Amino acid sequence: MTAKVFIDGAAGTTGLEIRDRLSDRSDIELLTIADAHRKDASARADALNSADAVILCLPDDAAREAVSLIDNPDVRVIDASTAHRTDPAWAYGFAEVEPGARDALALAKRISNPGCYPTGFLALIRPLVRAGLLPADTAVSVNAVSGYSGGGKSMIQAFEDATNPDATDTAFRAYALGLGHKHVPEMRAHAGLIHPPIFLPSVTRTYRGMLVEVPLHLHLLTGTPSLAAIRDVLAEAYTGSDVVRVQRENPSFLTIEQAAGTDRLELYVYGDEKAGQARLIAALDNLGKGAAGAAVQNLNIALGLNETEGLRL
């Protein structure tokens, strides 16, 4: 049976990526509305209620509005905005991060797609907290760098269009310097941490790709584990996953494009045991597992389809 899917916000960066992954699939029929009616509430409501599943690629307020337009109880919603990521009424769309999460997603009518930075952070930290290796009251920081596509159309134009009023020729930009980034509540809540992590995001002059790093003092962890023990906990958490891969061999360096152009998530454990320090690093594509790839994976699960169909692994 062919599932009808409507992408609300299909003209945006994430929407285009999702449509590209779905357009050639025989098990998906993409519903569309004319460009002239993209902001027409009546036309959107018709499409939203005619679909088996909808994916919202919208700003937060517009995503909430879209949800309010849906009165068909059978429609499954996957929201790629930040609007519902800590809402307990919505299933959190990271199938690998918790035992039973995949089953919950298969039953859910409302799924919140994780943020790109939280995806890397949670993949590294949540298994350690769950295993009791990282006490929930540990003070944690996370340093991350993303390709500029993560900032959407406005940032893409600033980096690519020299005539744009906000044009920049910088190679690297640190931002959210006041530590109030909107992803922090999501990180804390889904990691199971008592204190919000200190989040240090930045963007660099590459279109796509992401590195998320969490430094840890080993003596603050239960039993002062070895690097191998930390890696083993992560490997056990993601056993059998085609998407999340815990790397046993560490290259001498990692690049921001390490997983760019894919929908996979690579996890690395570096460090110096003599110094008692670890560097946990996640490599992903901010537009892949960090956005569109995750949405397609969640769509597949919600519709009972092959979980990795359409993904670039």
Nearest to 303 by CA among 14, 29, 24: 29
**In angstroms, rounded to a whole number, what is the distance separating the alpha carbons of residues 19 and 10?**
7
Among candidate residues 3, 75, 77, 116, the one labeled active-site is 116
> Which H or E element spans position 112?
strand 110-112
Q: Which of 113, 3, 91 is nearest to 53 (CA)?
A: 3
Task: Say how far apart CA 102 and CA 82 lie, in whole Å.
Answer: 20
Cβ-based burial of 279 (10 A; exposed 0-12, middle 13-18, buried ≥19): middle
The C-alpha torsion from 156 through 158 and 164 to 167, rounded to 10°, is -160
Signed CA dihedral, 61, 304, 125, 272: sign only? negative
Q: Which amino acid is at 43?
A: A
Query: 110-112 and 76-79: which strand pairing?
Result: parallel
Of 291, 292, 271, whose CA–CA distance to 281 is shortest?
271
H/E run at residue 283: strand 277-284
User: How many residues in total does the chain contain?
Assistant: 313
CA 119 to centroid of chain Cα atoms: 5
Residue 57 among the catalytic residues:
no
Residue 119: how many other CB atoms lie within 10 Å = 32
Residues acting as catalytic residues: 116
